[in-house]
Amino acid sequence: MRKGGGKAKGASFERDICRRLSLWVSHGQQEDVFWRSAMSGGRSTVAHAKGKKLGAQAGDISCIHPVGANFSNWFFCECKFYASLDFQGLLTRTGKLSSFWLTAWDESHKYSKHPMLIAKENRSATYICLSGAGLHILNPGEPVLIAPSLDIHIFDAEKFFKHTQPI
C-alpha cells in the first residue's frame, strides 16, 4: 500500500459501514441514516477532555436521521480495517483487535453506551464485535468467536445484518 493509503482505506470502510448500518436500521429503505463522525469521533473526545459530553458525535459513526437514533443512543460504534487484526492475540489480551476492543470499551463507557467494534482485515470477512450486554439488546445469534476474558463476542457481519433485527 502506498504511503498514506491506510487513512483512505479506513475512511472508505467507514463510509461502507455507514451505508450498511443505514440500510439495516431502515429495513433497506435508506442509505443515509448514519455518517462518519467529525474527526472520526475526535470532536467528542476533545469536548470530553473539557468536561462536555457530545455523545452523538462519539465513535466513528454518527446518526444523522431519526430512524437510527435508538441504535446510536445504545451503541458506541468504532470501525477498523487493518492488514491483520491478530485474532490470536485475543487469547493473551494483546495485539490489534484486543487493543481496539479495549479502547472501544473504555470510550463507550464514557458516554454510557455499549461498545460495537466493526472490524475487517485484508482479504477477509467483516466482523461485528459486541459485549455481553450488547448481545441482550440485539440478540444477534451465534458468534463465530468468543473471548470471555475480554467480554467480546464476534459475529460475521453478513450474517449479522441478514438475521439480526435492528433496535
Q: What is the pLDDT, as a whole number, of residue 4?
A: 53
16 falls in which pLDDT band (50, 70, 90)?
A: very high
Q: Tens digit of pLDDT for each residue in 92-109?
A: 999 999 999 999 999 999
pTM of the model: 0.86
Integer Cα distance of 65 and 62 in angstroms: 9
Q: Tens digit of pLDDT for each residue in 71-130?
A: 999 999 999 999 999 999 999 999 999 999 999 999 999 999 999 999 999 999 999 999
- Three-class SS of 60-104: CEEECCHHHHHHHHHEEEEEEEECCCCHHHHHCCCHHHHHHHHHH
Residue 76: phi and psi, rounded to 5, are: -100, 115
